[in-house]
Chain A
Amino acid sequence: MKPASLEGEEIGNLGLSGLRLTLKLCYVNFVVYLAIYVTGMYLNIFVTSGVNTVSIGDPSNIVHMVGATLNFAFTFIVMVVGFIFGMRKVALFSLGAVASLVVATVGGLLFLATGGGRQSGGLTLVGGWIMSLLFMLALFLSYYSTLKVMRAVRILESGVAS
């Protein structure tokens, strides 16, 4: 049986309903990305005000970390779905996003462990920059991965309609 592809397009062997479910997960993941961004900005502007430190038990920090856990889990799920169900580009883009999130988490831990404030030293700032930049890269890669899933859904839907 030939791999499920159509003139260079990847539709995998997941089926339309499975692809739609995966697309919904991708949308939920973007909501989580937004929640992480908002809580991160809230911590930066209102909790630390650029000067104070933030503790791990701060409620907004807990929401931020739970969001990060969900974000990692959802991105990882999309990656595994890509690998298992034969969607190479979805898998590779998501793998890049997962790797970015791992490095961003290490940056976040470095930020917390070395003081947790902008004036805590150079290493804290490095941690903060790593966290922010890699978060944006992960968002970018997840976006491409979602586009590929969306494309596969469109192709299958047009096939079903015709």
Chain B
Amino acid sequence: MKGPLETMDEVKARQGKWLAYLIYFQAAFLAITYAEGMWAALTVHNFSVTLPDVIEHGVASAGFAVTTGVVGFVAALRGHRGVAICNLVLFVITVIAGSTGFAFLSNTSDPGQIAQTNLSMIATVALGMPITGFSLIKISRASRGDSGSLSPVTIMIYLALGALALTVVAGAAMLSTSPSWYAFAVSAHVGVAALLVALVLGVLVTSAMGAFEGAGSVWEPQTVAYSLLSLGAATIAGADGVVFMTSGDLSYVEVMAEVGVLVYVFLMIASAGPFHRKSVGIRSEKITRAAP
């Protein structure tokens, strides 16, 4: 609601902040949906609609679908055409993937149905990761009134989210597709995961050097800290993958998936760092003024 003394610019800034919070919710629902889905896929053997794991996964995915629709519609109302189109397409895909889940619950032993459900849901997660990242960066840039070119850190975060999405798809394909595709899926998963680690390292190094947009040469601690956490999570997930390949113990895949989703969460927080730090601009201004 608008306060009696707010100017139109303040109202727009507040609405932009709301939209950013909605994208955070959307990302949180996506992370929980993925974590719950992987947990259920690897530990549950008799699926039914009343199983707590299935209900939790269903509620989280419904939350993701709803927040995606909300973000898409509110972005359309505020004139962010790219964000609106991406999110509304993602909304439709999420609903279709959800319907494959309903079909799976009535026929839980059919391998074709299992593969169809796994791959459609993973494809949705894979699309959701870069789209939420793009939406958050776009909205936070618009809220700051920043219409300049993208910084190296932002570009690397985009690429890292894309690489993470491909890693997740290749990982699911390893478990869901025929043996003839297995070797290709493993190679793709390992290769793209290595690219992901390299990109997260790039985000860390570049942000530590103070090259985040709008920050000038000011060091941005939030981006540095969260990209460091993201790198740590990616390293642990990679180590789990190596242990799984040597031991064959599926519980390591479970840990890899649960830790892997943290890479996404930390990258999302790192991506919108300066949005919550208005002081960055003020600090750089003070530094410039203080200089003789």
Contacts and interface: CB of A to CB of B under 8 A. Distances in A.
Interface of A: 1-4, 13-14, 18, 21-22, 25, 55-58, 61-62, 65-66, 69-70, 72-74, 76-77, 80-81, 83-86, 88, 109, 112-113
Contact of A73 (B15, B91, B99, B107): B91
B6 interface: yes
Nearest to B73: A77
B261 to A, nearest CB: 23
Interface in B187-230: none
Given A25-B73, A76-B66, A88-B1, 19 more contacts: A13-B8, A21-B73, A22-B77, A55-B106, A56-B49, A56-B105, A57-B103, A57-B104, A62-B103, A65-B102, A66-B95, A66-B99, A66-B102, A69-B98, A72-B66, A73-B65, A77-B73, A80-B74, A109-B50
Contacts of B73: 21, 25, 77, 81
A57 B106 contact: yes
Interface string B72-85: 01101100000000
Interface of B: 1-8, 11, 15, 18-19, 22, 49-50, 62, 65-66, 69-70, 73-74, 76-77, 91, 95, 98-99, 102-107
Contacts of B76: 21
Contacts of B49: 56, 109, 112-113
A73 B74 CA distance: 13
Contacts of A76: 66, 69-70
Contact of B99 (A22, A58, A62): A62
A56 B55 CA distance: 13
A92 B206 CA distance: 46
A86 B62 contact: no
A13 B77 CA distance: 11
A18 B6 CA distance: 20
A3 B8 CA distance: 10
Nearest to A66: B99
A77 B19 CA distance: 12
A1 B102 contact: no
Contacts of B95: 66, 69-70
B208 to A, nearest CB: 36
Given A3-B4, A22-B77, A86-B2, A77 B99 contact: no
B23 to A, nearest CB: 13
